[in-house]
Amino acid sequence: MSTSGLGFLLGGASIVRRVFDGVWPGAVLSAALHTWVLTRIAQTEYGTFNQVLCLLTWIFLNCLFLLMVRRAALAALLSLGLVELLILVSQFKFKITWMTATFLDVMVIDPDSLAFLMSAVPGLRMLTAAIVIVFVVCMLLLTLCDRTRISRAFSGIVAGVSLALIVGLSNAVPEQPHETFQGVNHVSNFTRSAVVSLSELADSGWLEIDRASANQMALFSADETCTPQSRPPHIIMVLDESSFDIRRAPGVVVPDDYGRHFQSTDGVSRTLITEGTGGPTWYTEYNVLTGLSTRSFGRMSFHVTRLAAGRVKRGLPQALRRCGYRTFTLYPAYGAFLSARGFQRSTGIERMIDAHEMGAGDVEPDAFYFDKAARLFAKEKGKELDGERDKKHGTAPLFMLVYTAANHFPWTTTYRPDLTPDWTALNADPETDEYVRRQTMSARDYAAFVDRLKREFPDESFLIVRFGDHPPAIAPRLIAPGLSDAQIAERIMVRDPKFFSAYYAIDAINFTPADLSSAHETLDAPYLPLVVLEAAGLPLDSTFAEQKRILQRCEGLFYPCRDGAEARRFNRLLVDSGVIKGF
């Protein structure tokens, strides 16, 4: 090789060495990571406002990490990891709950929710470990090759400006509740929810409480006892998934005997005003177990069962246990879902039997859960069942909350057509007709359950209270066909009762309801425990006696009465009594 050729190679090697010893590798890698994120913003964020807010969030995260590590590529990698993790978690949550991730998911991390996540995604532990290892290796490599150093003063100024813009934009255009149901804008929605949540938490705390009533005498004493004057009935509550009287919608055709399912033993059809519409079963679950309002948690109401677990210890099951009842729930999902098991334990449920323990699939006919309820009742009453006997609690009255699931969305597919082989379509809209068909299945299965109780337990008395947990997602367009989606959303935002109206019905076997004076024809859901206690003829503890006075003053309204003032005062009394703690 000639001297000139050797000099050329050595010169080239020197240039390469100087390049890799300089800032170019870090700059190139940093540019690649930023390009990746811009692509992800275009894929997941819709609308100029959301894209700008997401971009500001990306800038803020980078500057935050630059304050710690100063390396541009490493800061971009750490920011990218957070953004991708947020999008992945938000998409997963949307598949399960039809809501994207919010900042409250970070504020309220609990063992039950983590256990649910791990059980719902097989192999997640191994996948998580592998991702962490790869991420750490990439961080180490970037640390070695990224020679850039960004001034902390510059990073701090840019972080402050971007944060100020994020707060200003989030307050100027606050997130609307319906936006989390759209399944997009994962990062921008999370950012806005962080601004709003921290602001509300600093302003009013987790729970709305009347601060002016702090010196009132405590309402409840742990020493209160319950002595029924006569043998009380067994109590069964049936959560009738997504059920309402569809005859309220114009033009919908139903079977001739459709209305019977919504009538109580006295022939009256009653309306239950729920606090959620279209999906959040756990809102009504909170109402009917605690007798309280989810709206007292403000924007944090979506997490109500997670927040209440271990903190809210007042409710129907607790009152029944003082009256000698044993308390159960038959739950059609994993007990860890939204901390349901921990929440129900706090309210007085001794044992939750979840989908895993029952061997339930994704969606089972209502008859599946009614069969489990009848078998559980037989076992607890000491009857022969699979060669076993349990006489320990054979004379105690039982309380069961039985969830059903057959009427769960979607109604765009025909669920178990083999269960209705003679069904003839009644409505031109297939989704509406499928909804009516499933309601017919539910009514048939419930009637069979009542007949079974009468046949197998002729000497036992039962009070059965059924209720729809919320109107279905298809209800708004059926109830108000002349309104646009935007107009319907506006009516839902102002809590128009017609969009929150389900039903409740009171039935009895070998028993006459003792007192139905609180069973108004239209009733807010938090009052349903009071109705159950009075119908069963049980004495009211001091908290339910006070709540009855609220019902009478407010004529069936709870949180809407005096714009929430009654609910806030009642929360204050319960806090002072020690049955609500930790808020």
pLDDT tens figures, 138-194: 666 666 666 677 788 888 898 889 899 988 888 888 776 667 767 788 888 888 888
Per-residue confidence at 232, pLDDT binned at 50, 70, 90? very high
pLDDT tens figures, 295-334: 999 878 888 998 899 999 999 999 999 999 999 999 998 8
Euclidean distance between CA atoms 113 and 105, whole angstroms: 10
Average pLDDT (259-277) is: 96
pLDDT tens figures, 344-354: 999 999 999 99
For residue 123, pLDDT beyond 70: no
- Non-local (6+) Cβ contacts of 368 within 8 A are 358, 360
- Non-local (6+) Cβ contacts of 75 within 8 A are 62, 63, 65, 66, 68, 69, 150
Q: pLDDT at position 78, please?
A: 82
Euclidean distance between CA atoms 314 and 307, whole angstroms: 14
Q: Which residue has the higher pLDDT, 150 or 51?
A: 51
DSSP assignment string, 165-202: HHHHHHHHSPPPGGGGGSS--HHHHHHHHHHHHHHHHH
- Non-local (6+) Cβ contacts of 357 within 8 A are none
Picking from 498, 531, 582, 21, the residue whose alpha carbon sits closest to that of residue 273 is 498
Q: pLDDT at position 210, please?
A: 87
Average pLDDT (442-450) is: 98
For residue 294, pLDDT beyond 60: yes
Q: pLDDT at position 41, please?
A: 83
For residue 212, pLDDT beyond 80: no
Average pLDDT (196-200) is: 77
Q: Which residue has the higher pLDDT, 393 or 95?
A: 95
Q: pLDDT at position 220, please?
A: 67
The winner for highest mean pLDDT among 71-75, 111-115, 504-508 is 504-508
Euclidean distance between CA atoms 76 and 215, whole angstroms: 53
pTM for the whole structure? 0.80
Q: pLDDT at position 8, please?
A: 47
Euclidean distance between CA atoms 231 and 248, whole angstroms: 39
pLDDT tens figures, 401-415: 999 999 998 999 999
Q: pLDDT at position 201, please?
A: 75
Report in angstroms the alpha-carbon separations of 427 from 432, 440, 442: 7, 14, 19
Euclidean distance between CA atoms 476 and 489, whole angstroms: 9
Euclidean distance between CA atoms 164 and 159, whole angstroms: 9
**Residues 324, 326, 331, CA angle at the centre, nearest 5°?**
150
Q: pLDDT at position 252, please?
A: 97
Per-residue confidence at 20, pLDDT binned at 50, 70, 90? very low
Q: Round the average pLDDT of the chain to a whole number and report it.
A: 85
For residue 433, pLDDT beyond 50: yes
For residue 360, pLDDT beyond 70: yes
Q: pLDDT at position 502, please?
A: 98
The full set of domains in the chain, from first to last, is: 8-204 (no CATH), 234-503 (3.40.720.10)
pLDDT tens figures, 513-541: 999 999 999 999 999 999 999 999 999 99
Per-residue confidence at 13, pLDDT binned at 50, 70, 90? very low
Strands (E), 376-503: 398-403, 462-468
Per-residue confidence at 130, pLDDT binned at 50, 70, 90? low
Euclidean distance between CA atoms 483 and 478, whole angstroms: 10
